[in-house]
Amino acid sequence: MNNEFTLRLQKIEGVLNTYLPFVSNADWLSLSFGNIDSCVNDLHLADLIVPCKSLLDLGGKRWRPLLLVLCAELVARSKKLSELEFETALKKAYNLTPLVEFSHTASLIHDDIEDAADTRRGKPCAHITYGLDVALNAGSWLIFEAAACIPRLNASDSEKKSLYELYLTELRRLHLGQAMDILWHRNPKMIPSIEEYRTMVRNKTGTLARLAVKLGVLAGGGSMAQVEKAGQIAQDIGTGFQIIDDVINLTTGNPGKKRGDDIVEGKKSLPVLLHLQKNPSDREKLASLFERARSQGIDSPAVEEAICLLTESGAVDEAKKKGKEIILENSQALVSLFAEEGEKESSSAALLITELFDALQKKA
């Protein structure tokens, strides 16, 4: 990985470890819970901290917090801030990264429960390791815990209020997207339109990209008009990455997951919708394959039958191409929003944002 990424990622990890330590300390306890009874001890806290921290420490690409920081750099440079103002903006950006990475981690814990998944990042899912009750509670707690970074910011009360409102709005959108996805995968015969799918993904996946970029633009000193415009672009970048993940699930399999588990879960991914758009007569056949895969599990022959059907029709390749086009078009738009013509090639942050998206696309 680019050494410039590594340096920033190390700082991000430091912030994440501060706001979610494996071993609690008085400062963290006060920030997270306020004044609590002295009988609360590490054993009581473990069922909150350990499931979340264990998943966080298994890795993940951290591209959302990295994007947040890079956007803050890009905007701050475009504002011609002094070096002191620039460093202040950057410090604020780093301290906002728990909002995107903790909420993302929480969403993975809940997503695995809702999908009845077995593994995440190559290890048993949290609900399998720690129990359904512990995983549900810990994931919910982490959504709220993420916002503990806001009171510590060097920012005005009105700015903190705006950050709370932004964070909560995006979380509500995330849950709307998840609700749409659950509705469709619970019913093998229910097929959404491509527009409905796009709306679902813009909320379920796009919302955290949108949140990351909006936070970065705010930290860098951008206007509310710039925040909203950048957020609209970012949600489509997130959509592109979800499409690429859909494709990987049906080809090599996502890292730490099993190839074709989207078929078992009944996910109406873009390859499925593109296939049915060209082959509407396959609707009942695909529904039957989804039902068989769900009842028989990941080793069901129905999984490979469905993948073969989608691959041979060209739907998988078409989705892959579409996902990459969306990412390329919108990442260029994001950079161009703040880098003046002739400057975007020389701006360090602009170059790194472009390189980040190039690297993430190559996984497909």
Q: What is the pLDDT of residues 289-304, one digit of tens each?
A: 999 999 999 899 999 9
The structure tokens listed for 181 are 């996805």
CA separation for the pair 224, 228 (Å, rounded): 6
CA separation for the pair 327, 329 (Å, rounded): 6
Record the pTM: 0.91
| Tokens 């390859």, located at residue | 271
First to last CA, the chain: 17
Sign for the CA dihedral angle at 355, 361, 362, 363 comes to: positive
pLDDT reading at 92 higher than 60? yes
- Range with top average pLDDT, 25-34, 343-352, 355-364: 25-34
CA separation for the pair 208, 353 (Å, rounded): 16
pLDDT of res. 364: 56
Q: What is the pLDDT of residues 74-84, one digit of tens each?
A: 999 888 888 99
Which of 147-151, 158-162, 284-288, 347-351 comes out lowest in average pLDDT? 347-351
pLDDT reading at 345 higher than 50? no
How many C-beta neighbours within 10 Å does residue 156 have? 9
CA separation for the pair 43, 272 (Å, rounded): 46
Which of 201-215, 227-241, 310-324, 348-362 comes out lowest in average pLDDT? 348-362
Q: What is the pLDDT of residues 101-134, one digit of tens each?
A: 999 999 999 999 998 888 898 899 999 999 999 9
Q: What is the pLDDT of residues 187-196, one digit of tens each?
A: 888 999 999 9
pLDDT of res. 2: 72
CATH number, domain at 277?
1.10.600.10
More confident residue, 254 or 56: 56
pLDDT of res. 341: 44
Domain around 268: 3-361
48: nearest Cα among 137, 117, 114, 120: 137
pLDDT mean over 44-61:
93
Residue 53 near residue 22, CB atoms below 8 Å = yes
pLDDT mean over 253-280:
89
- Range with top average pLDDT, 23-32, 124-133, 248-257: 124-133
Residue 241 near residue 205, CB atoms below 8 Å = yes
pLDDT reading at 198 higher than 80? yes
The torsion angle over the Cα atoms of residues 346, 351, 353 and 355, rounded to 10 degrees, is 170
Counted domains in the chain:
1
CA separation for the pair 117, 100 (Å, rounded): 23
CA separation for the pair 340, 237 (Å, rounded): 21
pLDDT mean over 132-138:
97
- Phi and psi torsions of 193, nearest 5°: -75, 165
The structure tokens listed for 162 are 């705006």
pLDDT of res. 11: 96
Q: Is residue 362 very low, low, confident or very high in pLDDT (cuts 50, 70, 90)?
A: low
Longest C-alpha distance within the chain, in Å?
A: 65
pLDDT of res. 72: 95
The mean pLDDT value of the chain amounts to 91
**Ramachandran class of 70: left when φ > 0, alpha when ψ lies in -120 to 50, beta otherwise:** alpha
Residue 120, strand partner residues: 123
pLDDT reading at 346 higher than 70? no
The structure tokens listed for 22 are 């494996």
State the DSSP code for 148.
Answer: G
Q: Is residue 358 very low, low, confident or very high in pLDDT (cuts 50, 70, 90)?
A: confident
pLDDT of res. 342: 43
3-state DSSP assignment of residue 258? coil
Beta-strand runs (E) in the chain: 119-120, 123-124
